[in-house]
Amino acid sequence: MNIDYEELRHYKDRIRIFFIIYIFSEPCNDQNYDDCCRVLHTEVKIQKLDFLIRNPDYLCFELLELCNRNDMDKKEIKDIIKNIFYSHEPQIRRIEMERFFFGAYEDIDHVISFLVSVGFVRFITKRNSVLKLTEKSYYVTNLADEKIRLLTDNAPHLKWYMERCLLIKKYFGAYSGTQLKNLQYKIDRYRDTTYREYIQNIEDLVRQKYYEEFGEIL
């Protein structure tokens, strides 16, 4: 059986980005977009959330950082991290991402174009008086909302993306794109990656931090 890895990668990109827009968007009541039910107004947040999905070790590191807060359920966080590592997600689910001027970034225009072409997303840009781009908005259509509910019930492989987005939303959904970027920049290995180089994994740092927090080897 021949596998077209490039086509598989495109397929994963489309699924991932759509679920980010779908899960992290807000209800839309704009009469100008009466065929849409949700909207997300920033690409920065999409990029930073995409990085966490593509790099489960970085997600685990950020979850461990939350253990410093008194309002966090440390046992729950511990179980999440154990499940991620015991499922070998840092190796199986990892999709490398390059470091650009402001951290991890990958052009998603081709993904958005596809989502627009199938009627799942409406994409709107706003510019100021000197035509400088000021905002990108991603509207989820009613069609997409209807289809995605049917798809997740009948396509189990999509549930991982849905569940991972919901997990990230639970702990980091209130963060802006800039706040997520700042969290990631606190990690030396992320911040020190050279422009246009792939950001290195931090599995070893997570294992060390996990041991320091819980006194167990991960």
Q: For the chain, how many structural domains are there in total?
A: 1
pLDDT at residue 210, rounded to an integer: 98
pLDDT at residue 133, rounded to an integer: 64
- How far apart (Å, rounded) are the C-alpha atoms in residues 110 and 159? 23
pLDDT at residue 211, rounded to an integer: 98
pLDDT at residue 109, rounded to an integer: 95
The one-digit pLDDT tens for each residue of the chain (218 residues) are 556 778 889 999 999 999 999 999 999 989 999 999 999 999 999 999 999 999 999 999 999 999 999 999 999 999 999 999 999 999 999 999 999 988 999 999 999 999 999 999 999 998 765 556 668 999 999 999 999 888 777 787 889 999 999 999 999 999 999 999 999 999 999 999 999 999 999 999 999 999 999 999 99
Residue 170 token pair = 């639970």
Q: How far is CA 40 from CA 6, 49, 121, 127, 135, in A?
A: 28, 13, 11, 17, 10
Domain of residue 141, residue span: 5-214
pLDDT at residue 3, rounded to an integer: 62
SS (H, E, C) the chain: CCCCHHHHHHHHHHHHHHHHHHHHCEECCCHHHCCEEEEECCHHHHHHHHHHHHCHHHHHHHHHHHHHCCCCCHHHHHHHHHHHHHCCHHHHCCCCCEEECCEEECCCHHHHHHHHHCCCEEEEEEECCCCCEEEEEEEEEHHHHHHHHHHHHHCHHHHHHHHHHHHHHHHHCCCCHHHHHHHHHCCHHHHCCCCCCECCCCHHHHHHHHHHHHCCCC
pLDDT at residue 155, rounded to an integer: 80
